[in-house]
Structure 1
Amino acid sequence: MAEDADRARKSTGARRNPDSADAILDAAEAVLVEAGYSGFSIEAVARRARAGKPTIYRWWPSKAALLFDVYQRLKRVENPDTGNLEDDLVGFLKNLFSHWHDTSSGSVFRSLIAEAQSDATVATVLVEYTKGRHAHTGQMIERAKARGEVAADVDATLVADLVASFAWTHLLTNRLDEDEATLRRAVRYVVRGIAPPANSPPAIRQRSRRRRIVG
């Protein structure tokens, strides 16, 4: 019966049928809300969506792949474009922390990160997801380059990685209620660097140099 219902949805093999894909994603969201991450399964999604498991696995090769699609579907985080890189990154982090804190997506993503440490399939999906997200965040860096705020040889993806590392650390340690001053200070360290200003007194530069050598 499930297969008949699946055929009724006119599945098109590896190329997703939009209506069927939406029905499966709707079902996956519902299962996630009702059962949580630990109770989420392809079997439960198939029953709710009235779809065959082979179809789901044809479009999503693993539970992790489906969950990442659900996570991205739930994610509503704007990349600000204020004309100033520091303000853009602070606004982005505020939006991201708020989204993780106020919706179930934060716990889903935290669980996926944790599972990736012991499951190679989840780790592979996480790496691919991260590449896409860093490219997306890197657009703020590229815009800043065009405005002359950032040196032309700066690797936008690496800067995005630094920002993401700060965000992931706070997600994994349940510190999503940081105030704006803390977020701004962290962003400022990334944007401006931690070296003393070129025009600072020699003694300050020397103390900083000694700290680097000792460290």
Structure 2
Amino acid sequence: MKTEKPTPPARRASIGAKRNPASQAAILAAARAVLAEEGYAGFSIDAVSRRAGAGKPTIYRWWKNRADLLMEVYSAEKAIITAVPTDDLGRDLTNHTRALWGFWSGTPSGRTFRALLAEAQSDPEALAVLREKFLPERLRDVRGLFNAAAARGDIPTEEVEARLALYLGFNWFYVLTDQLEAGQASIPAAMRLIAASTR
């Protein structure tokens, strides 16, 4: 008795450099699925191509490397942080962090972010894109909280970038080690320390 092999997805037509919305959606969905099932180690353009039924040339025409594709997967799940500033930096950072961690935990974005950082460690071009393009946009809101605190005189202006780096280190430790749930209780104390006045 012959066992029929599953039929692979039909190849999607490419329309050149201009993105076909249906093909783009299929590729991003395939990228999310491959990342969820195989993890970063199994994430490749080949795997995404097979899953989406899209040709590799099409994928590379729209995304120049894995990092580009991962960044778009993350952007498609972009967090909407709705925490309202309170003129108290420690409280503002606590609210912002809880909203961000909720986004990382409640969507595939935490896994995607870990993959992005891993890709940047082995690919200088990916690191440059992460540092110069991806992070500045993602840090705009939280940098604004530090700048507002400096404008109020709560923290020295010259310490904004150093405090932002401390904030990033705290968040990245918990997302990279997949301990967001365990770290929830530490958020308020950590944010008070990062926001503490040194005047």
Q: TM-score, normalised by structure 2?
A: 0.75
Unmatched runs of 5 consecutive residues or more in structure 1: 199-215
- Cα 1:171–1:33 change in 2 (3 A) is closer
2:13 equivalent among 2, 6, 9: 6
- Name the counterpart of 1:34: 37
Structure 1 residue 132, shift from structure 2 partner: 1.9
Cα distance between partner residues in 1 of 2:72 and 2:189? 33
Higher relative contact order (CA 8 A, sep 6+): 2
Per-residue CA deviations over 1:73-128 (Å, capped at 9, x if unaligned) read 23435151132332221011112233334443323322332342232233223213
1:50-86 per-residue CA deviation (whole Å, 9 max, x = no partner) reads 3221221122110121012112323435151132332
Q: What does residue 76 of structure 1 align with?
A: 79
Q: What is the alpha-carbon distance in structure 1 between the residues aligned to residue 166 and residue 20 of structure 2?
A: 37
Describe the shift of the 1:170–1:48 C-alpha distance in structure 2 as closer, same or farther (beyond 3 A): closer
Contact 2:150 2:157 (C-alpha < 8 Å) held by counterparts:
no
The equivalent of 2:26 in structure 1 is 23
Inter-partner Cα distance in structure 2 for 1:104 and 1:5: 25
* Aligned ranges 1:134-173 → 2 under 5 Å: 134-144=139-149, 148=152, 150=154, 153-154=157-158, 156=160, 158-173=162-177
Q: Report the CA distance shift for 1:26/1:175 in structure 2 as closer, same or farther (over 3 A).
A: closer
Cα distance between partner residues in 2 of 1:35 and 1:86: 38
2:135 corresponds in structure 1 to: 130
- 1:189 aligned residue: 193
Shift of 1:25: 1.1
Judge conservation of contact 1:79–1:88 (CA < 8 Å) in 2: no
Please say if residues 138 and 160 of structure 1, whose CA atoms lie closer than 8 Å, have aligned partners that are also in contact.
yes
Paired residue secondary structure (1:163): helix
Determine the C-alpha separation between the residues in 2 that align with 1:153 and 1:17. 46
Amino acid corresponding to residue 125 of structure 2 in structure 1: T
Structure 2 gap ranges (5+): 1-8
- Are the equivalent residues in 1 in contact too, given 2:30–2:52 (CA < 8 A)? yes
Is the contact made by 1:64 and 1:122 (CA closer than 8 Å) also made in structure 2?
yes
**What is residue 108 of structure 2 aligned with on the other side?**
104
Q: TM-score, normalised by structure 1?
A: 0.70
Counterparts of 1:171 and 1:157 in 2: how far apart (Å)?
21
Larger radius of gyration: 1
Q: 1:155 to 1:136 in 2, by over 3 A?
A: farther
Aligned-partner SS, 1:5:
coil
The Cα shift of 1:173 comes to 3.4
Which has the larger displacement, 151-160 or 53-62? 151-160
Q: CA 1:48–1:173 in 2, change beyond 3 Å: closer, same or farther?
A: closer
Q: Which amino acid aligns with 2:112?
A: V
> What is the root-mean-square deviation in Å for CA atoms of aligned residues?
3.0
- Runs of 4+ that moved beyond 6 A: none
Distance 2:150 2:20 in 1: 40
Counterpart of 2:4 in structure 1 is none
